[in-house]
């Protein structure tokens, strides 16, 4: 049965599975007569147009944001304020804006990655040049090797796309950040009648000028009726926090004073700085040191359960300068929450510049470039069937993996891989990936694991258990990075906080390449057992099929992207930027106690490590799967792919008797790989639209 003319132009021709030979006269016309628009929409050029359009849209958004904030906000130290008010609103706005930023950055990086793969994908001319020098190129996967063989202009654009991605990984998430207002406060002990007697009748002891001002402010608040009453449990809840954001001065209501007119100074709690504790050791410098028992030798959080138990039993006491005070209740001065949602002008400009670089390069590729690269192995098979490569002639069982292990500057031996015995052994998926790539995956995975283990080591070195109960992304005294040499600048901490994201992105890039290589090899092996059209990235016709986006099947791509998104979020909660603006209890700025550092959440770190282990286990599990057939693995090696595409070659004939030109249009037909029926001792394996058979084990083919 011959290839039947379709009823409509867009319909595929029918092929009789019992007689796969097609009417090549029909195919000589070049396939269905689609218009230019259809060809453009179905090709990689359209994908590039979408990528460039996405970059332009993101660029317009970023420029619009910059113009809007500069027009409405005054800058101070390179920072502008988007919103200030209660911390709940700031937290919600920050979450929403960072979700938007991650969507925009994912869009930019996805578009950039597609452009990078198009740039490093070789054209047929690039492949022919490489084969002419007895070397090979990668087809269908992201490849650094190809950069040494593609034209300088494309290589330069590829490098620009890579370099412009680094700032996105390191600073985009930190262009918008929140800062928390934290208050210092003074603690006094005395009778609950504060504010009912004249100030001059009260005995406040020998106070410093600062402490006297603090007591006067607390007295005025009592007179104004703004102090709030807290029972002991609520009092501990309100003040046992790393950074005080809602309360100021505190009066511990007690009967352990001489008279109702006597008030005594208990302590002063400054805004917490982690290196105070780092230098002097806990509990000195603890964020609520006054709550600690007098014999404490660890973080106060370690003793909280005992303190709560004492409060429930009515015998909670606090140690003061003149003895211990049994606390009956508390009077607290409420203060307004004062958080800020801010942006960095310099980081925003950096993002806009790299965004513009990506948009310009992708627009140039979509509009100016006319080259059609081989993005998939199907593109290569179709090209080599249409125009066979004589450099690969007679090497039909060339092992692509063995070729790929040859150093880049070395050549493929000319006299090797000609007659080879076929081994009908179904290999495992991992054999499609070179040992070097497996080593790179292991190296990057180990670096990520070591960073996580280092942060966990910091957590385990702390005495308190509260650090393990902290919520994702929350600030905890024991989980703030300490050290005199730690940078205090916003930019320095921003880069440190986002470095794990960069490492994971590199790991994801290699991880994706390994999975792509294995799945390409798996699909390649199916051509030995079933007939099908090849996947092409440009205008698929007849039996040809459209390619996956970036060559990875959706059943692997979607879970990988989902897992990657979860892991990016876990990493952002594992190590994050902490910004604190210090105020005294009278709501006066105290910039000397401001803090910029990095915090970490051990539970998020463990979760990220668990996801890492899960991803690695899935990769190992995929590598243990077997291919569908014993077909020789070409991998991404262009020379091995070309060697499998000589349907008319007969190794038993002299060169002058060879009929090398394949039937026109064979690349559009359903294809199968196997041994061609020949008369003679030497066999030959190839992709063909004709009948082929499974090669015989241990028989020699050329």
The tens digit of pLDDT for each residue in 409-441 reads 555 555 555 788 888 889 999 988 888 888 888
> Does the structure show a pLDDT above 70 at 22?
no
Alpha carbons 187 and 414: distance in angstroms, whole number = 86
Contact 517, 432 (CB under 8 A): yes
Predicted confidence at residue 25, as pLDDT, reads 47
Looking at every residue in the chain, the average pLDDT score rounds to 82
Q: Does residue 444 register a pLDDT over 90?
A: no
Confidence (pLDDT) at 654? 80
Instruction: Provide mean pLDDT across the span 68-85.
Output: 82
DSSP SS3 for 558: helix
Which of left, alpha, beta for 419 (phi over 0: left; psi -120 to 50: alpha)? beta
Banded pLDDT at 6 (limits 50, 70, 90): very low
State the pLDDT at residue 12: 34
- The continuous run of DSSP H or E covering 176 comes out as strand 176-183
- For residue 2, name the pLDDT band (cuts at 50, 70, 90): very low
What does the alpha-carbon distance between residue 519 and residue 627 come to, in Å, rounded to a whole number? 10
Among 318, 320, 197, smallest CA distance to 259 is for: 197
**Helices 345-367 and 44-72, packing angle to 10 deg:** 150
Is pLDDT of 8 > 60?
Answer: no
| Span 293-337, pLDDT tens digits | 877 777 777 788 889 999 988 889 898 878 889 999 999 999 988
Distance between CA atoms of residues 693 and 472, nearest Å: 59
What is the distance between the terminal CA atoms of the chain, rounded to a whole angstrom? 31
Helices (H), ranges, 193-344: 209-224, 232-239, 274-280, 304-313
Q: Where are the domains of the chain?
A: 180-339
pLDDT band for position 511 (cuts 50, 70, 90): confident
Q: Compute the distance between CA of residue 691 and CA of residue 697 in angstroms, rounded to an integer.
A: 19
Helices (H), 257-399: 274-280, 304-313, 345-367, 377-386
Cβ(476)–Cβ(242) under 8 Å? Answer: yes
284: left (phi over 0), alpha (psi -120 to 50) or beta: beta
CA distances from 252 to 68, 183, 200, 215, 306 (A): 48, 18, 21, 13, 19
Q: Measuring CA to CA, how many Å separate 427 from each of 48, 228, 518?
A: 36, 74, 11
Task: Give kind and range of the element (H or E) at residue 158.
Answer: helix 152-171
Which residue, among 40, 637, 38, 122, has the nearest Cα to 372 in the 3D structure? 122
Identity of the highest mean pLDDT range in 51-55, 393-397, 489-493: 51-55
pLDDT of residue 353: 95
**Sign, Cα dihedral of 680, 685, 686, 687:** positive
8-state DSSP, 208? -
């Amino acid at each position: 049965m011959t290839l039947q003319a379709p009823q409509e132009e867009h319909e595929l021709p029918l092929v009789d599975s019992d007689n796969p030979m097609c009417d090549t006269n029909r195919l000589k016309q070049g396939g269905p007569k689609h218009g230019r628009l259809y060809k453009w929409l179905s090709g990689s050029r359209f994908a590039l147009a979408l990528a460039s359009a996405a970059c332009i849209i993101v660029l317009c958004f970023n420029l619009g944001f910059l113009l809007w904030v500069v027009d409405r906000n005054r800058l101070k130290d390179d920072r502008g304020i988007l919103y200030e008010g209660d911390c709940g609103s700031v937290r919600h706005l920050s979450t929403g804006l960072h979700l938007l930023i991650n969507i925009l950055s994912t869009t930019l990086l996805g578009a950039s990655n597609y452009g990078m793969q198009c740039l490093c994908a070789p054209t047929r001319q690039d492949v022919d040049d490489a084969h002419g020098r007895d070397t090979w190129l990668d087809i269908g996967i992201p490849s650094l090797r190809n950069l040494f063989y593609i034209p300088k202009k494309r290589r330069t654009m590829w490098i620009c796309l890579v370099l412009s991605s680094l700032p996105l990984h390191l600073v985009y998430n930190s262009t918008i950040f929140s800062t928390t207002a934290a208050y210092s406060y003074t603690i006094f002990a005395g009778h609950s009648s504060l504010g009912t007697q004249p100030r001059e009748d009260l005995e406040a002891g020998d106070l410093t000028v600062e402490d006297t001002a603090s007591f006067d402010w607390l007295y005025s608040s009592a007179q104004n009726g703004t102090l709030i009453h807290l029972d002991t449990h609520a009092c501990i809840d309100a003040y046992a926090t790393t950074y005080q954001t809602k309360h100021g001065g505190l009066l511990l209501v007690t009967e352990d004073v001489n008279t109702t007119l006597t008030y005594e100074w208990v302590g002063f709690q400054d805004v917490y700085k982690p290196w105070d504790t780092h230098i002097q050791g806990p509990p000195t410098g603890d964020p609520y040191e006054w709550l600690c028992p007098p014999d404490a030798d660890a973080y106060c959080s370690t003793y909280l359960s005992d303190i709560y138990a004492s409060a429930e039993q009515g015998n909670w006491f606090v140690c003061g300068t003149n003895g211990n005070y049994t606390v009956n209740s508390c009077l607290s001065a409420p203060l307004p929450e004062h958080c800020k949602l801010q942006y960095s002008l310099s980081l925003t400009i950096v993002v806009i510049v790299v965004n513009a670089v990506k948009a310009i390069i992708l627009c140039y590729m979509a509009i100016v470039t006319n080259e059609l690269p081989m993005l998939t192995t199907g593109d290569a098979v179709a090209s080599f069937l249409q125009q066979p490569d004589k450099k690969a002639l007679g090497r039909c069982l060339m092992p692509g993996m063995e070729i790929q292990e040859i150093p880049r500057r070395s050549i493929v031996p000319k006299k090797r891989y000609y007659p080879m015995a076929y081994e009908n052994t179904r290999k495992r998926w991992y054999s499609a990936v070179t040992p070097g790539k497996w080593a790179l995956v292991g190296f990057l995975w180990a670096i990520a694991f070591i960073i996580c283990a280092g942060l966990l080591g910091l957590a385990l070195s702390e005495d308190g258990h509260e650090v393990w109960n902290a919520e994702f992304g929350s600030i905890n005294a024991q989980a703030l990075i300490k050290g005199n040499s730690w940078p205090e600048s916003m930019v320095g901490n921003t880069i440190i906080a986002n470095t794990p994201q960069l490492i994971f992105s590199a790991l994801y890039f290699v991880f994706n390449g390994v999975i792509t290589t294995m799945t390409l090899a798996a699909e390649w092996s199916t051509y030995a057992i079933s007939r099908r059209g090849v996947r092409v990235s440009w205008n698929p016709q007849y039996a040809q099929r459209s390619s996956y986006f970036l060559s990875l099947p959706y059943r692997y791509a979607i879970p990988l992207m989902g897992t990657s998104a979860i892991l990016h979020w876990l990493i952002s909660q594992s190590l994050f930027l902490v910004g604190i603006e210090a105020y005294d209890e009278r709501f006066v700025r105290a910039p000397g106690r401001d803090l910029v550092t990095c915090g970490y959440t051990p539970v998020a770190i463990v979760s990220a490590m668990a996801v890492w282990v899960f991803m690695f286990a899935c990769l190992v599990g995929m590598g243990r799967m077997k291919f569908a057939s014993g077909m020789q693995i070409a991998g991404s090696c262009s020379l091995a792919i070309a060697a499998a595409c000589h349907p008319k070659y007969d190794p038993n004939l002299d060169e002058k008797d060879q009929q090398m030109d394949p039937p026109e249009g064979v690349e559009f037909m359903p294809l199968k790989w196997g041994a061609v029926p020949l008369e003679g001792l030497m066999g030959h394996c190839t992709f063909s639209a004709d009948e082929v058979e499974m090669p015989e084990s241990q028989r020699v083919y050329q």
